[in-house]
Amino acid sequence: MTSISASTTSLTPRPHHALKKFRNQQLDYQTSFGQFVDITLAYLRTKRSEPSPLGAMPMHTLRMPDLPSDDATTLVRLGHSTVLIRIDGQYLLTDPVFSERASPLQWAGPKRFHPLPISIEELPPIKAVILSHDHYDHLDKHTILALDRKVELFVTPLRVGGHLRRWSINPHKIIELDWWQQVKLGTLRFTATPAQHFSGRGLRDRDRTLWASWVIEGSRERLFFSGDSGYFPGFREIGERCGPFDVTMIETGAYNALWSDIHMLPEQSVQAHIDLRGKAMLPIHNSTFDLALHDWHEPLERASSIAAARGVTLLTPMIGEPLALNASTTGTAWWRTQPAPEQGQLAWQP
């Protein structure tokens, strides 16, 4: 029987709560008509050489025996912001998206660059799924329903659990937390922490559910998962209150100066890691879907250059490649070794 206890750090008043909605601490993010025009023009005018991989993207097909059999904490990027975490002998999964497209429709919208490194059927039992917010590239209905039988608990920001309940997930399996609230599951503790983003899955539900980053603590290691966020002073506060972190999993992708308030540029991602007092940084939110105007490999290339200049240890495993925190390797520049495509081949096709 899992031991569950929740505690709340007092936030009176809660400045991120508005009437029936939530808001950021540092800014009120709204897209004006002028910004909409600028973004539309940018999409029409920007020329890119590789919006998606030209050939088969290097990746590792994961098998459970590949994971260390000792008690080492291990991370496996499964794509985008989906990370399989083994900590204290338990498995966690962040923002799982196993569908072909990050979209409400499976015949339209951003299509994944690579096959799944592991199927849902092959996954081990999952102690908890950690959700950061309700955008389609982070909360996928088909994946949640397929995972349900393998998952003990879903841990979400406030009101995100409402989506799961509408999809017939057992309400007793859902834990919803406000910023700075905690839940303890056996030896694991999860703390919902602030992020600078927004939420909504349709035209009329903007900001009605909360967005969050997460502190994940085991008996030995402390991890940070950013979800989606612009750069803001909250990272320093999280680092002071909850750090230092053995690993930070930081959004590094789908960025542009036009929307940097809610998606960090790579330079800001590295700075967020430093603010958080992280020992090693795992860039996430890249290499699976085309969601911005940069080439697919640019986030990892820029982050690698910036991390080297600032003395930051960057973890760059291939998609599907297990990385034990006690290992000496940090990964390779695998995105530079993409094989040449065969004649007529543009990208992986399912």
Q: How far apart are CA 35 and CA 101, in angstroms?
A: 26
Q: Exposed e or buried b for every residue in 108-139, given b needs 16+ CB within 10 A?
A: ebbbbbbbbbbebeebeebbbbbbbbbbbbbb
If you average pLDDT over residues 255-264, what whole number do you get? 93
Written as six digits, the tokens of 79 are 């794509």
If you average pLDDT over residues 99-116, what whole number do you get? 92
Residue 346 has pLDDT above 60, yes or no: no
Beta-bridged to residue 250, according to DSSP, are 283
Residue 70 has pLDDT above 50, yes or no: yes
Residue 284 has pLDDT above 70, yes or no: yes
1 pLDDT band, cuts 50/70/90, is very low
> What values do phi and psi take at 29, rounded to 5?
-80, 115
**How far is residue 114 from each of residues 60, 121, 173, measured CA to CA in Å?**
11, 18, 31
Q: Exposed e or buried b for every residue in 200-214, given b needs 16+ CB within 10 A?
A: bbeeeeebbbbbbbb
Q: How far apart are CA 213 and CA 157, in angstroms?
A: 9
- For 172-188, the pLDDT digits (tens) are 999 999 999 999 999 99
Q: Which of 149, 109, 67, 111 is nearest to 320 (CA)?
A: 67
pLDDT, position 34: 66
Q: Which of 12, 122, 11, 27 is nearest to 76 (CA)?
A: 122
Q: Are 253 and 285 in contact (CB under 8 A)?
A: yes
- More reliable by pLDDT, 349 or 230: 230
Place of tokens 């694991």: 188
201 pLDDT band, cuts 50/70/90, is very high
169 pLDDT band, cuts 50/70/90, is very high
* Average pLDDT of the residues of the chain: 90
Residues making up the chain, counted from first to last: 350
Whether the CA torsion 39, 44, 47, 52 is positive or negative: it is positive
Residues in contact with 282: Cβ distance below 8 Å, sequence separation at least 6, in sequence order: 75, 77, 83, 247, 248, 249, 250, 314, 315, 323
Poorest-pLDDT segment among 35-39, 52-56, 167-171, 222-226: 35-39
Q: Are 182 and 12 in contact (CB under 8 A)?
A: no
Please report, as a single letter, which amino acid is at residue 48: R
> What values do phi and psi take at 141, rounded to 5?
-55, -45
- For 8-63, the pLDDT digits (tens) are 444 445 788 987 899 998 887 666 566 667 777 777 788 899 999 999 999 999 98
Q: How many CB atoms lie within 10 A of CB 219?
A: 13
pLDDT, position 338: 61
Structural domains of the chain sorted by starting position, each given as residue range(s) with its CATH number in brackets: 62-328 (3.60.15.10)
Q: Which of 301, 297, 331 is nearest to 313 (CA)?
A: 331
**How far is residue 201 from each of residues 17, 29, 107, 179, 238, measured CA to CA in Å?**
19, 16, 17, 21, 27
